[in-house]
Amino acid sequence: MNYSQFLLMLPEAALIVALLIVFMADLVCPRVPCERAKTLSILTILLLVGTLAADFFAEPVTAFGGMYVTSNAVNLMKIILTAGTIIVVIMAHPWIEYNDTNRRVGEFYELILSTLLGMYMMMSSGHFLMFFLGLEMASVPLACLVAFDKYKRDSAEAAAKYILVATFSSGVMLFGISFIYAAAGTLYYDGVLDSLTKGYLFSPLQIMGLVFFFSGLGFKLSLVPFHFWTADTYQGAPTPVTGYLSVISKGAAALTLLIILEKAFAPMADYYQPMLWVVIILSITVANLFAIRQTELKRFMAFSSISQAGYIMLAVIGNNFQLSTTALIYYVLVYVVANMAVFTVINVVEHKGQPTANGQQLTAMSTYDGFYQTNPKLAFLMTLALFSLAGIPPFAGMFSKFFVFMAGVSGHEGYPFWSYFVVFIALINTVVSLYYYLLIVKAMYIKKTDTPLPTFQSDGYTKIAMAICTAGIALFGVVSCIYDWIYASAGA
């Protein structure tokens, strides 16, 4: 083996170095809780900024005999996910400082970096086992993060449900990968593609391998009908972890699915596209209907994320790979800033507020009644984020939905009905989503209460996180060079 090939993996190498530095710093940092949290937080942010620079300078390379394959589009997604992780670390600081003696600060940042490294490996894989190892490297630390509030019953329950479902989905996926190997005799994406292009009829082994593989990845994306773990896990996990789980992991899994379908299963498009059509319709419709019924904000955002995953999948059903990749990456970029803005506000309320007189939880939607009266700035910023998630112009969310709609119908000129029908159903569901997002806006601005939340003085970390998210919501939709940059990267 030529070990110099490790130097070609610049983003992964930078992230490993960052992980080792945080690990060593955790051993030598002062034990005073506030100083320790501040030091490790700033150090992690600076190291992630360094990783971001490494992502910018990374070139498309192939290493280790084709097991590691990266492209400009993959490197761009790494930039977006790393930037999203920086926002998570910034907004998590108030939670880290809150009752710091009950948690190990360094371990939180080490787990964040470890799961991000797994997502890097997953997206840069050219081999199914490499992909599976990256997926597990991302999933196991996430389970630890979900259980980080180990003294909270809800957090332990959420972690148990997440790890059980993750284990089951990994088993299903590995079962499908074994079918793929039995049919193709190789686990390289290119080798599987070559085996599928030899004939017009596909064996039941190949079809079952595709179905099981997609089923396993459907759990990671929390697509219907693989979504049952999502609401309980989102509700029980610490709020920064919930934000990380809802955005960063979904972006990595979605791009990886698109790459594998294109590089390994492209000849089987007639088989997997109808499957995707059904899953997309179910994910968007079922999630929207259940979101209307929610009274707890984190569960509400869980069903919102299931619906958003369905919209992301619209880009996958297109037959124009460059346009689909561009729409998917752009959607994830906009989704990162909008969703993290909402979770930043939830995190502020949850850890700066006090439980209401009747014992009501601070994540209950009714807690936000009259929120505008006492915290007008936070209410306004949350409204912008919700409008972007709903796709209301002129915010970036409207443009991201438009691009995935266009990508979903691209390349289907021969038999356009079903792809157009799926996009039409998604468009109708956008109106439904507007209704339930406005329920929160109504609570903040219109509903009255005798005991509104007190006025919060946001710390500097929260202000930075909100400033980044708000700038993204306002600018990503109108600065056209961002989309052009993504389109050029997807075609390179």
pLDDT tens profile 225-256? 888 888 888 988 888 899 998 888 888 999 99
Mean pLDDT of 294-322: 90
Of 48, 9, 88, 79, the C-alpha closest to 341 is 88
Of 387, 352, 399, 392, the C-alpha closest to 470 is 387
- Tell me the pLDDT tens digit for each residue of 399-418: 999 999 998 888 666 566 78
Half-sphere CA count of 188, side-chain side, radius 13 A: 12
Inter-residue contact 317 to 277 (CB < 8 Å): yes
Of 312, 315, 241, 219, the C-alpha closest to 85 is 241
What's the whole-number average pLDDT of the chain? 86
C-alpha distances in Å from residue 173, one per residue of 220, 403, 425: 11, 30, 29
- Rg of the chain, C-alpha, whole Å: 22
pLDDT of residue 321: 86
Inter-residue contact 172 to 220 (CB < 8 Å): no
pLDDT of residue 279: 93
Cβ atoms within 10 Å of 232's Cβ, excluding its own: 18
pLDDT of residue 132: 92
pLDDT of residue 343: 92
Cβ atoms within 10 Å of 480's Cβ, excluding its own: 9
pTM metric for this prediction? 0.93
Measured distance CA(430)–CA(285) in Å, rounded: 10
Inter-residue contact 230 to 318 (CB < 8 Å): no
